[in-house]
Amino acid sequence: MFFRVAINGRQVVSWGVDLSKTLVGAAHQALFEPSSHYQYNDNGVLMTQYGIESRCFRFVTYGSGEASIANDGGLIEVQVFRAKSRARRAPQPDPYRGGDKYGVALISNGLLENPQMASFFDYHLTDPKDAPYASFRFHYRSWDNLRLLHLAHCEKPDFLCASPSKVSSSEVPKKTDNIGFNFSIDTESHAKESHEERTAHEPRETALHPVILNKVTPVGSLVRVLRLRIPDGGPDIQFLPGQWVDTFCPGITKAGGFTITSAPSKATAASPERYIELAIKRSPDNPAAAWLWQEPKDILGQTLRIRIGGSFVFPPPGAPASFAKDPTVRVVFVAGGVGINPLISMASYLCEINAANNGDDEEGRSGGPEVMFLYSVQAEEKPPKSDDDDDDDGNEADRIPFLQRLATLFSREAIRGQLKVFLTGSSNSKGVLSCNEEDVPCLRRRITTADLDEAVLGGSTDGNGRKPDNVFVYVCGVPTMTDVFVEHLTSKKGPGLAARQVLCEKWW
């Protein structure tokens, strides 16, 4: 079934449902291109932040000098069509065209936190576009106009004065007499895709490997690191740095998708204890993640099944076998939030390659690629301070996933290059973070395109020059960040790298 909503003849939103799965639902938002509010100037170039803007419906009145709520009347029409099938397509949200002068507005709720969850489809309809199976028409007028027509009482009912739950007061026009409600435009039929559906186009193995959950390590209050031991007598598990696993938990029908954070060697006989490591962010809406976030005593020792998949890998596809040992190569890792997960596996792998080929210079340092690592993460609030706690920052670095591990790799020169941390959401103003008795540079802001330019084109830490075609960038983070950075890196206004030199993966 396909639905289309029009307000005063202008289509506002459409969506569909699978009646075999959903019979009841509520809609809450319409989706559009980001408005001018999300435009910014980047070195003289007007850029629009990538993403999808959510808006909710509201009746508005702007005062005596402006149009009130449809003094001449307005019409909201919901059309229903029968559909034979649907085909998924690339997201192409429409630009928002205001209807304020008609007494209605779609007030911005901001950019979607997880825009990749918004699925767009083309529908093959049974009914003609101009002859819906059913139509529901809702006529509206201003309260003053209804009184003039003697169709309403003099006093406005209280229930018409409620504000929409999703609109903040700062987003509501000033000097208004608003009659608001949340206009539903996002149904239960628009269910979130599972990990397997979302990654159906990605390569994955057919074999399922049994593993035993034998260690749970919390990192702050939002992330926990899991160690999955490979049973004795079982085969080694082969994977490339950056890949993820379909994870089947007991009693959960659909697999969860979680990136491997350990180096590939840890899952082979080269390791004293063969295992695969995952970092799981707390996510109650994800059944597999919710299962893995149970009390450790309830899940330790349980057997899971995993399957290797993914194409975001290191070294880059098509790179020569000597790539990971080539000192003329520069690799730039850009991590946003849990986008650190695949990149820490890649960094650990590089460390092992470097260790196996050390002694290339008089000081025994590696001659492998130079690594510039940019890690952006939101600070987690420090735990309440106890009476005998003299630590003024609550071990801030300990609450950042894999920062201590990264700092160790760079401080002992297991990886040659530089680590920069970008921290947001913290009131602390320190310019460094203490990690394993080493000070790591910390900038209290987000990564900018200027930071990318410096990492890609800036001088080498060892004084050697770098050819642009010998620089490779890995970007992993939220879709908005990833899209903006990839576009900049490959544009003529930016470093102008070839598409093969910029690899990305979006997390959700």
Mean pLDDT by 10 residues, the chain (508 residues): 85 84 76 79 71 78 47 79 87 74 72 75 88 88 70 60 39 32 34 74 91 95 95 94 96 92 94 94 91 96 96 91 88 94 96 76 63 90 55 69 91 87 78 78 90 84 58 92 92 90 85
Question: Is 253 in the same domain as 336?
Answer: no
389-435: pLDDT as tens digits = 544 445 678 889 999 999 988 888 788 899 999 988 776 767 778 78
In a domain, 320, yes or no: no
Tokens of 102: 């008609």
In a domain, 181, yes or no: no
Residue appearing with tokens 């880059």: 316
Question: Is 10 in the same domain as 123?
Answer: yes
Question: Is 218 in the same domain as 267?
Answer: yes
pTM: 0.62
CA distance 286 to 106: 30
Residue appearing with tokens 């700062």: 170
Sheet strands (E) in 97-237: 104-111, 120-125, 134-140, 209-219, 223-229
SS3 487: helix
Range of the domain at 291: 195-309
Question: Is 332 in the same domain as 473?
Answer: yes
CA distance 205 to 245: 10
Question: Is 145 in the same domain as 223?
Answer: no
In a domain, 184, yes or no: no
The total of other beta-carbon atoms located within 10 Å of residue 79's CB is: 21
Domain boundary among 256, 279, 309: 309
In single-letter form, the type of residue at position 365 comes to R
What counts of helices (H) and strands (E) characterise the chain? 8, 24
Number of domains in the chain: 3
Question: Is 372 in the same domain as 499?
Answer: yes
Question: Is 305 in the same domain as 329?
Answer: no
- At 101 the pLDDT is 57
- At 63 the pLDDT is 45
In a domain, 478, yes or no: yes
Q: Are 201 and 182 in contact (CB under 8 A)?
A: no
- At 200 the pLDDT is 84
CATH code assigned at 425: 3.40.50.80
Q: Are 182 and 55 in contact (CB under 8 A)?
A: no
- At 266 the pLDDT is 96
- At 394 the pLDDT is 57
In a domain, 189, yes or no: no
In a domain, 318, yes or no: no
Q: At what angle do helices 479-490 and 449-457 cross, to 10 degrees?
A: 50
Question: Is 27 in the same domain as 141?
Answer: yes
